[in-house]
Amino acid sequence: MMAFYEERLLTLIEQGPYSPLTKKAYRSDVRHLCRNVTRIDVPSLQRYGTLLRTSYASTTVSRRLHALSTLFDQLVTERALAHNPLAQTKRHPPIARRRPRFSYDEVRSVLERITDETVYAFCFLLLHTGLRFAEAHALRLTDIDWDTKQLFVRHGKGGRMRHLPLHDELHRVLLRYLETTSVPSQELFSTETGRRFPAERIRSTLREASLTQLGRILRPHDLRVTFATTLYHEHETDVLTIMRLLGHRDVRTTQHYILPSSDIDRASVNRLKPTTY
């Protein structure tokens, strides 16, 4: 029976209006479910939820169960399921975790330790544009207008495209990178053979440099968060502008990227004065 559901769910994913990355995540969710349950019913899904909570972060559990519930609704629509068992399964709200905060200066100090020109340029781009890793990784040479200093994001999340201004120093860094790495490829970031630069090599190089410099792990996504947080706190950029730069559809999502500042909190509290009656 589970073989039937696995095949049907994977077909629904391929036919659905999802981005390639979302389809990849949904396929992984379905296969993990089918490896660990023998029936799609309330008791089985309750046990599966318990299994997930012992193995994954609460936010991952919530995302995975939400994805499965969405797919189960489609099975109900086509009458392959009588009802959605996840609709009757008790959900545990995700525990909010505080994002690690890295200042702009801390990130710059890490990047200066990176000797690989491609990794350096890639990370410098993330820090000064707030691009998602996949968006930067998919950039081509034709996506940059060097004269107007504009960058065109063709592969935004949800198929959304946008233009971004190039920071002056980033413009110089990218030009220097292209001058020192003449590669026969239209990919902006590629290997000497013209293939797209390995994503894991970028992550591992950044991780090693951050552990050496700061004693903490800096991930590519942290550069996106630092970009948003720095614009807001240090340069007083309004949230709607940051939302557009990050490619978000909802300002509430952007607010999660702007980390609180302990210095601002402390200064605000110190403004309190006794009231004279």
Per residue in 104-134, pLDDT (tens digit) is 999 999 999 999 999 999 999 999 999 999 9
> Can you tell me the mean pLDDT for 188-217?
93
Task: Record the tokens describing residue 264, joined without a space.
Answer: 């601002």
Binning pLDDT at 50, 70 and 90, where does residue 262 land? Answer: low
Residue in the block written with tokens 């008791």: 43
What contacts 177, CB < 8 A, 6 or more positions away? Answer: 117, 118, 120, 121
31 vs 15, 46, 76, 82, 86, CA distance in Å? 17, 17, 19, 21, 17
The confidence score (pLDDT) of residue 20 equals 84
Tens-place pLDDT, residues 71-95: 999 999 999 999 999 887 665 555 4
> Helices 104-111 and 220-233, interaxial angle, to 10°?
140
The confidence score (pLDDT) of residue 270 equals 58
53 vs 12, 30, 64, 85, CA distance in Å? 26, 17, 11, 18
Binning pLDDT at 50, 70 and 90, where does residue 18 land? Answer: confident
> Helices 168-180 and 117-129, interaxial angle, to 10°?
160
Residues 240, 232: Cα–Cα separation, whole Å: 10
**DSSP structural state of residue 154:** S
> Can you tell me the mean pLDDT for 56-73?
87
The confidence score (pLDDT) of residue 147 equals 93
Residue boundaries of the structural domains of the chain: 2-88, 104-260
Residue in the block written with tokens 């614009």: 231
Q: Is the pLDDT of residue 176 over 50?
A: yes
Between 170 and 17, the more confident residue is 170
Is the CATH code 1.10.150 the one for domain 2-88?
yes
What contacts 189, CB < 8 A, 6 or more positions away? Answer: 118, 121, 122, 136, 137, 139, 196, 197
Q: What CATH number was assigned to the domain covering residues 104-260?
A: 1.10.443.10
- Share the mean pLDDT of the chain: 88
> Can you tell me the mean pLDDT for 2-19?
90
% residues pLDDT > 70 (the chain): 89
The confidence score (pLDDT) of residue 274 equals 63
The confidence score (pLDDT) of residue 157 equals 79
Binning pLDDT at 50, 70 and 90, where does residue 96 land? Answer: very low
Q: What is the pTM of this model?
A: 0.67
